[in-house]
Amino acid sequence: MTKRMNRRNFARLLGLSASVAALPATAVTPSSPLTSATRERGFPKGFLWGTATSAYQIEGAPTEDGRGPSIWDTFSDVKTNTYTGDNGDMGADHFHRYREDIALMQELGVQTYQFSVSWSRIFPEGTGTPNPRGWDFYDRMLDTLLAAGVQPFCTLYHWDLPQAMMKVGGWQSRDTAKAFADYSAYAVKHLSDRVKHFITMSEVSQFVDGGYRYGSDAPGLKLSDAIVAQVTHNVLVGHGLAVQAVRANARAGTKVGIADNAVSTCPVIETPENIAAARKAYREMNARSLTPIMEGRYSEDYLKGLGANAPKFTAEDMKLISTPLNFIGLNVYEPTWIRASADPGGYEIVDMPKSYPIMAAKWLELGPDGMYWSPKHLQALWGVKEIYITENGAASLDVPTKTGEVLDVDRILFLRSYLEQLQRAVSEGVPVKGYFLWSLIDNYEWSDGYAMRFGITYVDYKTMKRTIKLSGQFYKEVIARNGLA
């Protein structure tokens, strides 16, 4: 995860006709009264409670065991690209401290763990001959994880493209999509004896826009709308090829999905008209990735909005992109408030007042209703039967007390309010099967460096000492209860 783009810009980039309305601060009252069912506050038996991380953010060890450089190594070498020139060379030193981190999972009672594989550890040049030592770390980590009784979910791509793939233009080239499929096939052959859930990639729109439109993330390019639209399409082709690679190479019983930072469109007041408008907005505001994945087509409004900048594609491309999935992962953070409109689009985006509450990360506006409405829309629009919340968490400016405690009550407020809305959705039959809290430990937050802390475990970056925060104790209690107190 990283900085998110402003929803005004998001609507513009999608070519949407929805207008943006200003709403007085006193009018933001989105939550509806809880029903008697949601007051019970429990989750179904077998609901999975987990945590999530990504390779570049936590592993460190950028050259050990033959790992090749990724685009994030190259990007962060330029000191002006990241906060105070920070890079992921150390991360949270998980490469050397994975046993300690798995012990933390055991202490918290975590049942499942979402990690990502560093592509350039396995294929230092992106393609060609694999690095046999690249698996050593993941083999040790997975064996320790399974011995601890923690179920792994594996993300194949979490933004750290091998730098060597930039020789062909990175995701500007369909050669990268093919290389990703080849890497995925090799990874699944090696891992599917122990890993039964694979996520092809995380947050398509975010790593495309950050890396290819705004230059705020690796590889740091600022390209035209037409090129960015084609990059997005190439990435989706890579996803589709990877799904097929998983299916062709995994052991029986393996499942595959994607983790999407879908725009969480929430009715600002829960009237039938606003709910219908929010559902329509969900399909259109996610028209770059989730909608074509689920429908095998780009929406007419999306293509019309792009005009001459629309991507070039074939019917075979769209069939590939929409290869059926076993599950969908949703990364849920900030909301987008919607109300019905007489405009042709049928809805308008309600702008945030200046007084709207935010967390330490300026993009992270508080919006627990998104945890209810995003999976609710996903089920209603496309009949998805297996959903996971693959990321949800809060940035805080954590400072230990004199006694060494981290009393992050702001993060607890955030988590409790979001989990209440998740329980509301599950109690109504929305098929969310598990929740992955971002993140297990403090780590490198991309271009924000080490300034932002998302972990429920505090990491002293000088000594790498781990300390479970108050939010970690809260989450431990949630897991033990399988619900909220």
Annotated binding site for substrate: 57, 158, 333, 438, 445-446
DSSP characters over 424-450: HHHHTT--EEEEEEE-SS----GGGTT
Residue 84 identity: T
β-pairing verdict for 347-351 and 48-52: unpaired
Instruction: Locate all alpha helices (DSSP H) within 62-153, ordered by sequence.
Output: 71-77, 94-108, 119-122, 134-147
3-state secondary structure of 5: coil
DSSP-assigned beta bridge partners for residue 438: 52
Helix (H) or strand (E) holding 182, with range, is: helix 174-191
Euclidean distance between CA atoms 350 and 63, whole angstroms: 47
Residue 94 identity: H
Tokens at 154, concatenated:
């594996």
Rg of the chain over all Cα atoms, to the nearest angstrom: 21
Handedness of CA 7, 13, 16, 19 (dihedral sign): positive
3-state secondary structure of 239: helix
Tokens at 226, concatenated:
């037409």
Query: Which residues are known catalytic residues?
Result: 203, 391
Euclidean distance between CA atoms 15 and 9, whole angstroms: 10
DSSP state of 358: B
43-69 in b/e burial notation, b at 16+ Cβ within 10 A?
beeebbbbbbbbbbbbbbbbeeeebbb
Euclidean distance between CA atoms 229 and 208, whole angstroms: 9
Euclidean distance between CA atoms 332 and 419, whole angstroms: 11
Neighbours of 162 (CB within 10 A): 27
Known binding-site residues equal 57, 158, 333, 438, 445-446
- For the chain, the 3-state helix, strand and coil shares in percent, each to the nearest 5, are 45, 15, 40
Tokens at 93, concatenated:
């030193």
Backbone dihedral angles phi then psi of residue 335, each to the nearest 5 degrees:
-95, 165
Helix (H) or strand (E) holding 115, with range, is: strand 112-116
